[in-house]
Structure 1
Amino acid sequence: MSFTASAVDYSIPIENCKKSVDIVLNQDYELFKQLYAPLPKDMDQSIVKGMIARKHNNYTKKQYLGIHNFTIVGTEVLEDAKNSIYQTSQKNALKYGYTDELWVNYTFTTSKILLGKKKDNVTIKGKCKFGQVDGKWLMVNLLRS
């Protein structure tokens, strides 16, 4: 496992990570299609919209009560993702054909429902993951906290 920081320009995936908040909050299927890696042929529009709706409910009604103060806090590169000890990273790298996986780390504040009780001003950490294929950054997860 190797993480590196480099001088490579990651502005596009950073902006796309920020846009993932809009996808979730607005259930924006069209924006999702623009940013996300190609979907399997057997995954039709209704399945994708259902997945986005579940994310929306999780981030606005169930586990969290909104996404506020979304901030990018850095990037990490997982080199040689095809041979990673992280199974999801390995699977995505093999599936989409990229070598390194970029992790865009973020935080946001929210209210959280924990054991049926609301806790305010909770800081949540997470990451958006991207792989670069043919010069294009592909998002391979949608807000993972």
Structure 2
Amino acid sequence: MELKELKGMLETTREALESSLDRIHWRAGELVVDYQDFHFKENKERKNWEDKSQISLKTKRRGTSIGIWWVKLKWSGVSGKRQCYTREFKKPRGKFEYDLENVLTEAQNWEKEKIRSVEAEAAQLRLMAAIVSEQLLKIVKNLKKIEKYHGQD
């Protein structure tokens, strides 16, 4: 095997890993939309402000990193001019899933089961994203080594 052949294999692998990250982020976005649809539908059915959910899910991709996190919505201001602020729930460092007790203490009873099921999938997506991202960064580093040693053929 020559460096040129190895470089081609690494580039093919890099493309596959980037495609995997795209699919993981796409699924995370679907998960957020699914939870938001549930959240808005259920909140619409409740008349009292204190019976409505204030829990939300967000996702963002930055480079090879994909974040999926829970937030609590906070409202400020008088009726008609309210502004929404968010407070992130803390996820234990180095873990892929939330300690749901923190989230569930702020949640309404009617949404707790949905939060549990969404978090189970979100944790899997976080783990997959971390693994794919780690491998992608290694591939990119090795491609740079080849280019430095052998040029850009």
Scaled by the length of structure 1, the TM-score of the pair is: 0.26
Q: Considering fraction of residues, name the structure with more strand.
A: 1
Q: Considering fraction of residues, name the structure with more helix.
A: 2
Which is bigger in relative contact order (C-alpha 8 A, separation at least 6)? 2
